C-alpha cells in the first residue's frame, strides 16, 4: 500500500485532476471525511489543510480554535475544508471536529509526519500530524488541487554545512498541488530557498500587485518572486495550465500577510536572531528546530508573532478558497485539463 502511495503518478487511477472519479480509486489509501467525499463526488471545490500547524504550530486551545475558524472561512468562501491527519494507520482527508480536538490537545506528542516518516507512522498506527509534504501527497491522492497552509519549510540557515533542507521543497518539485501560503518562514534562509525552488522547477507566484516575496510574519522579505498575479482567477488559470501540461510539480502561491496584521519587521528579525542563538545553545536539531524557534519568537514578541500567524493563516484560507472555487468554475465551463489513461 505504501509503495503505491509514494509512487502514485499524476493522472493515474489514483488521482485525475479535472476528471470524474470514483471513491473506489483511492479508498485503500486514504479515508475521506463525509463532507469531503460528497463534495468530490459532485465535483465541488475542496481545500486541504495540514495538521502540523495544529499540533506543533500553535499552543492549545488557540490551535483548535484557529483550525475550526479556518475551516469556517473556507466554507463561507464556497468550498469544503479537508484537514488532513494520520489516525489508526489511515491517512484521513477531512478530520472531524473531535479528531482536530485530539490533535490540538496532544500537541507535540503527535508525531510530525513528513514523507520519510509516512510508512512507519502508518504501519505502526501512530497518531501523526501531516506537514506540507505529506499533506501534498494526501491532497494529490484525494484529487484535491489546492492546499492552504501558513508557510512552507525551506533551506535552514547554515545549510551549507548542515544540509538541513525541508522535504517540503522536494515535494513541491514532484507533486502537482497548488500550495497557498505566506511564503517561507522568516526563520529560514529565504534566498537559498527560492534558488532551490527554481532548481526544482516550481513556479513561485506572489498573489499581489507587487513581486515582493512575503516573509511569513512580514509582507516583504526583501526578496523578489519570479512572478506575481494580483487576481486569483489568473492564479486558477495558471494552476489549471500546470496540470493540463502534466508538469508534475507543485506551485507556490505566496500571499502577503495583511499590513494591518503584519508584525514589526525589526522586532521579528531581532526575535529570530535571539531564538536562533538559543536554538544553537540548546542543541536543538532536525524537525524540532521550527517549533522551538516559533515558540521562542512568540515568547520574545509577547504573543505578537502568534497573532500574526493566526491572521495570515486565515487570510491564506480566504485566498486559497477563491483560487479553488475559480479553478472549479474553469473546469465546469469545459476548460479543464485532459487526463491520460
Catalogue the active-site residues: 50, 185
Distances (CA, A) of 242 to 36, 141, 238, 304: 24, 17, 6, 37
Q: How far apart are CA 246 and CA 168, in angstroms?
A: 20
CA 169 and chain centroid, separation: 11
DSSP 266-328: HHHHHHHHHHHHHHHHTT--GGGHHHHHHHHHHHHTTTHHHHHHHHHHHHHHHHHHHHHHHHH
Q: Are 14 and 25 in contact (CB under 8 A)?
A: yes
Q: How far apart are CA 131 and CA 50, in angstroms?
A: 6
Sequence-separated (6 or more) residues with CB below 8 Å from residue 157: 187, 188, 189, 276
Q: Are 294 and 187 in contact (CB under 8 A)?
A: yes
Amino acid at each position: 500500500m505504501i509503495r503505491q502511495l509514494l509512487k502514485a503518478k499524476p493522472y493515474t487511477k489514483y488521482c485525475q485532476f479535472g476528471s470524474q472519479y470514483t471513491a473506489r480509486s483511492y479508498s485503500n489509501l486514504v479515508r475521506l471525511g463525509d463532507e469531503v467525499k460528497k463534495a468530490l463526488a459532485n465535483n465541488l471545490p475542496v481545500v486541504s489543510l495540514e495538521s502540523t500547524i495544529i499540533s506543533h504550530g500553535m499552543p492549545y486551545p488557540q490551535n483548535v480554535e484557529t483550525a475550526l475558524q479556518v475551516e469556517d472561512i473556507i466554507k463561507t468562501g464556497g468550498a469544503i475544508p479537508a484537514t488532513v491527519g494520520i489516525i489508526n494507520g489511515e491517512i484521513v482527508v477531512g478530520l472531524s471536529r473531535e479528531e482536530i480536538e485530539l490533535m490540538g490537545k496532544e500537541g507535540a506528542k503527535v508525531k510530525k509526519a513528513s514523507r520519510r516518516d509516512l510508512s512507519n507512522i502508518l504501519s505502526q498506527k501512530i497518531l501523526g500530524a501531516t506537514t506540507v509534504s505529506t499533506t501534498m501527497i494526501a491532497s494529490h491522492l484525494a484529487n484535491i488541487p489546492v492546499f492552504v497552509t501558513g508557510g512552507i519549510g525551506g533551506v535552514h540557515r547554515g545549510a551549507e554545512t548542515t544540509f538541513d533542507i525541508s522535504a517540503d521543497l522536494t515535494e513541491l518539485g514532484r507533486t502537482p498541488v497548488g500550495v497557498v501560503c505566506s511564503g517561507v518562514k522568516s526563520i529560514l534562509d529565504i534566498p537559498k530557498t527560492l534558488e532551490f525552488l527554481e532548481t526544482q522547477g516550481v513556479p513561485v507566484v506572489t498573489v499581489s500587485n507587487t513581486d515582493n516575496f512575503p516573509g511569513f510574519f512580514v509582507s516583504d522579505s526583501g526578496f523578489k518572486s519570479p512572478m506575481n498575479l494580483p487576481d486569483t482567477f489568473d492564479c486558477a488559470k495558471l494552476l489549471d495550465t500546470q496540470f493540463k501540461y502534466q508538469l508534475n510539480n507543485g506551485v507556490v502561491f505566496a500571499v502577503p500577510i495583511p499590513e494591518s496584521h503584519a508584525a514589526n519587521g525589526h522586532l521579528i528579525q531581532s526575535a529570530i536572531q535571539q531564538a536562533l542563538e538559543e536554538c544553537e545553545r540548546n542543541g536543538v536539531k532536525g524537525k524540532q528546530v521550527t517549533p522551538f524557534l516559533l515558540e521562542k519568537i512568540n515568547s520574545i514578541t509577547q504573543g505578537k508573532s502568534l497573532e500574526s500567524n493566526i491572521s495570515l493563516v486565515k487570510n491564506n484560507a480566504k485566498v486559497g478558497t477563491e483560487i479553488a472555487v475559480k479553478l472549479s468554475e474553469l473546469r465546469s465551463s469545459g476548460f479543464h485539463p485532459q487526463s491520460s489513461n
